[in-house]
Amino acid sequence: MTNYVVRGIDKTKSFRFFGANTTKLVDEATTKHQTSPVVSAALGRTLTGVAMMGQMNKNITDRVSILIKGDGPIGGIIVEANGFGDVKGYAYNPNVDIPLNEQGKLDVRNAIGNAVMTVSKDIGLREPYVGQIAMLSGEIAEDLTDYFAISEQTNSVVALGVLIDKDLSIKQSGGIIIQVLPDAQDEAITELESKLKTFTSLTNYLENNQCIEQIIEDLLGDVELMSKTDIRFKCDCSTERMERALISLGKQELTTIVEDDQEDLELVCHFCNEKYQFDKNDIGNILHTL
Ligand code: ZN
Bigger pLDDT: 201 vs 42: 42
Residue 148 has what pLDDT? 98
Q: Where does the pLDDT of residue 261 fall: very low under 50, low under 70, confident under 90, or very high at 90 and above?
A: low
Distance 266 CA to ligand 1 centre (A): 14
Distance 241 CA to ligand 1 centre (A): 10
* Digit-coded pLDDT (tens) for 119-146: 999 988 889 999 999 999 999 999 999 9
Ordered strands of the 223-233 beta sheet: 129-135, 115-122, 63-70, 76-82, 86-91, 223-233, 3-10, 15-21, 170-180, 156-164
Are 115 and 135 in contact, with CB atoms under 8 Å apart? yes
The answer to whether residue 84 scores a pLDDT higher than 90 is yes
Distance 89 CA to ligand 1 centre (A): 9
Distance 11 CA to ligand 1 centre (A): 41
Count Cα atoms within 13 angstroms, Cβ side, for 81. 27
Distance 283 CA to ligand 1 centre (A): 20
The answer to whether residue 8 scores a pLDDT higher than 80 is yes
Q: Where does the pLDDT of residue 25 fall: very low under 50, low under 70, confident under 90, or very high at 90 and above?
A: very high
* Digit-coded pLDDT (tens) for 153-186: 999 999 999 999 999 999 999 999 999 999 999 9
Residue 280 has what pLDDT? 86
Distance 18 CA to ligand 1 centre (A): 27
* Digit-coded pLDDT (tens) for 193-250: 999 999 988 999 999 989 999 999 999 999 999 999 999 999 999 999 999 988 998 8
Distance 196 CA to ligand 1 centre (A): 39
Give the number of other Cβ atoms within 10 Å of residue 290's Cβ.
9
The answer to whether residue 70 scores a pLDDT higher than 90 is yes
Residue 141 has what pLDDT? 97
